[in-house]
Structure 1
Amino acid sequence: MTNDFMGPPWQMDWVRSARADRDAYPEHVRDLIDAIRAELVTVKDPYFRGIDNLPDLPEGCWVEPGRSTVPDGANVCYFDRGRGWLRYVFVRRSADPQITVEEVFWQ
């Protein structure tokens, strides 16, 4: 067995309420969330550590830790110039690492 960590593309799962919220938004917001999803599942480290690991998020989007004291915890991806956010956690399991979206909000 090697110590190599599985790489992208990552699996993404949604908390049921987050998926329902995403599906209820207007089409242009859903398209923006889908673009963010595409970047999160293909970037080498979904927490974006290091200059070579920055994703090509859509314009008006940025990611930061939910709590600066817990950088491996939940992260928040703000989108639509801060009008909405997507809170996610990256679970580093050796067999099946995945991103779990816990909350989606847009106003």
Structure 2
Amino acid sequence: MTNRFMGPPWQMDWTLKAQAARDALPEHVRQMIDAARAELVTAGDPYFRGIDADAGLPEDLHVEPARSSDPKGSRVLYFDNGHGWLTYTFVRRTEDPQIVVEQIFWQ
């Protein structure tokens, strides 16, 4: 056993409310969410810290902190050119680090 952090791909869990909201959306929106999920779980740093840290994401995705006063807190991932978003946190643990999706919205 080593003492270093595990790397991508990260585990991802959804709160029950977020999963229900995702499942209620149309199929084409769920496909966009799945594409956004793929970007998140393979990101080297799911916090996307620094200037233009999310520059490697597709053009219709953008990540920013939910609150600028909490740099290690929730993040907002905008998808579908800002028509939808999801909030998530990244729990960095030595064993089993994971992304937890807390809310999802699309209009």
TM-score of the two chains, using structure 1 as the length reference: 0.89
**Structure 1 contact 12–100 (Cα < 8 Å) conserved:** yes
CA 1:28 to 1:56, structure 2 compared with 1: closer, same or farther past 3 Å? Answer: farther
What is the aligned-residue RMSD (CA, Å)?
A: 2.0
Q: State the shift of 1:71 in Å.
A: 1.2
Structure 2 match to 1:81: 81
Q: Distance in 1 between matches of 2:51 and 2:84?
A: 25
Question: How many pairs align?
Answer: 107
- Do the aligned partners of 2:63 and 2:78 also contact (CA within 8 Å) in 1? yes
Q: Sequence identity of aligned pairs in percent?
A: 67
Which structure 2 segments of 5+ residues have no match? none
Between stretches 43-52 and 62-71, larger displacement belongs to 43-52
Matched letter for residue 20 of structure 2: A
| Distance in 1 separating the partners of 2:53 and 2:63 | 13
Whole-angstrom distance in 1 between the partners of 2:25 and 2:82:
16
**More displaced stretch, 52-61 vs 26-35:** 52-61
Counterpart amino acid of residue 69 in structure 2 = T
Tell which has more relative contact order, 1 or 2 (C-alpha 8 A, sep 6+).
Answer: 2
The two structures have a TM-score, normalised by structure 2, of 0.89
